[in-house]
Structure formats: structure tokens, C-alpha cells
Amino acid sequence: MPKLCYLAYEGAYLGGHYMNTEFIKMKPAICFAFLASASALNAHPHVFIDGGIDFHLDEAGMLQKVHVTWLYDKFETLYILSSQGISPTKDGRLNSNDLSVLTSLYENWPPDFDGSVHLKYLEQSIDLNWPQNASVTYSESRLKVKFERELKTKFALTDTPLEVGFYERTYFFDFSITSPPEIIGDTGNCSASVIPFEINSQSTEILRDLSYLSREETPEDTQIGSKLADRILLICD
């Protein structure tokens, strides 16, 4: 559910409209009707991506890499397909050539790509290698992209949580964790819990300010996405 679909308190702000209501969570149909309005389409964020992160441990139990899933919203999917001159078949499928073209887009990442996965341990960032092994599928009018990122140095997990943020730093993209994380290679002593973003008075103010930005504008705080992120805490005993 896009974060613009949450109202924080009386007078909360949503897509350029003040609402006199207590905290509520809007029904999806109502929410997307709001997002389709002119004011919402001109506001940050511009792309909504569901998905998640899975963790791959090696034989020694060290965290070796993460598996990342992006599930684009229908509007952005339509934009991506149109930009590549691709149209689904009458039965809503893409042929193998179309999927190959789309996959190639995720084999050449832009130089300023900072990822959607951000690992921290005791407030120290953990570096990841460039994405690899990308794949693209298409279903129910949405593109799903999967790829892997290896840690530059394998990490020994402990009972002190490894914090994993799922966000894009400028909040042009709104990432939401919708798939429970899996731990591949776990021997039974590890757990991964999702900590959803919770709106409060500060984040409501941030969302309001971001809603005034056009598609071409960048927030003054270039790490604003980290303040609006779903997170995962990964622990091993």
C-alpha cells in the first residue's frame, strides 16, 4: 500500500488534500482514485514498488548475498513497456523476446544507482556489489524484477540485529515490503522480522513537503527515503 494512502491524524495530508479524520487506512480502490488525481500524480513519490528481500547464507552461516524483488505498479509498468515499444498479447502476456529486452535493462545499471537495499550493523553501512543475475516476468499487468547483490565481504550474523532498509534515497520510488523475507541456508537459528514504516507527525510533515515536488525536482535531504522506509531486522543466535 503506498504511503500516501495513510492518514496520520486530524488534518492529515494526502495527495494534496487535507482530511478532517482520525488515523485511517484507506481501501485500495479509494486510495488509487486519489493517486490518479492530477495533484497526486505530480507529487513525490512517482513510482510505487512492492517486493521484498531474501537472505542467502553460505555453508558456514555467513551472510553472502541478498535476493531482491521489485513488483512495479501498473502505471509504471505501462510506462516501461511503452518506452520500449512493447505491447502485451491479447491474453495479457509478453513473449520471450520482449522479456529479453526488458531483462537487458537491468543488466546495465546507471552509474548513480544506490540500490533499494541498505544494510547497517551498529549504524555502520555494509557495502554490496553491483546487481547481477537479473530476471523479469510479467503478470496481471505488472512487471516483476528479481536480482541478486553479493556483500563485498561476507558478514557473520549475531544476536545483534542487522538492519536492512528497503528504500530509494530521494523517495522518487516508494518501496514497500509485501513479501515475507526468507533465509536461504538457515539451520534454524536465524529470524527475519519486518518492521513496517509507521506514519507519525514528523513523517506526515515530510510527505506533505514532498508532495509539492515535481518529477524533475529532488528533495533537499538526499537521504529522505530512509526516513520513510520499511525495514527488516535479521538476527542469528
Q: What is the mean pLDDT of each run of 10 residues along the chain (237 residues)?
A: 46 34 40 45 78 96 97 96 95 95 92 90 95 96 97 96 96 95 92 94 88 83 92 95
Q: Residue 185 in contact with residue 59, Cβ under 8 Å?
A: yes
DSSP 93-104: ---HHHHHHHHH
Structural domain range at position 140: 46-197+221-236
- The rounded distance, in Å, linking the Cα atoms of 81 and 83 is 5
Whether residue 187 lies inside any domain: the answer is: yes
DSSP 212: T
Sequence letter at residue 71:
L
CATH number, residue 98: 2.70.170
pTM of the entire predicted model: 0.81
Whether residue 176 lies inside any domain: the answer is: yes
Provide the number of structural domains found in the chain. Answer: 1
Whether residue 70 lies inside any domain: the answer is: yes
Whether residue 12 lies inside any domain: the answer is: no
Whether residue 171 lies inside any domain: the answer is: yes
- The rounded distance, in Å, linking the Cα atoms of 195 and 204 is 18
3-state secondary structure of 227: helix
Strand 62-72 vs strand 117-121: parallel, antiparallel, or unpaired? unpaired
- The rounded distance, in Å, linking the Cα atoms of 181 and 14 is 30
Q: What is the pLDDT of residue 106?
A: 93
Radius of gyration of the chain (CA): 19
Which positions ≥6 away from 131 have C-beta within 8 Å?
68, 106, 109, 113, 115, 147, 148, 149
Q: What is the pLDDT of residue 217?
A: 85
Question: Which cell numbers hold the place of 114?
Answer: 544506490
Count of beta carbons in the 10 Å neighbourhood of residue 8: 22
Whether residue 10 lies inside any domain: the answer is: no
Q: What is the pLDDT of residue 200?
A: 87
| DSSP H or E stretch at residue 209 | helix 201-210
Whether residue 149 lies inside any domain: the answer is: yes
Whether residue 121 lies inside any domain: the answer is: yes
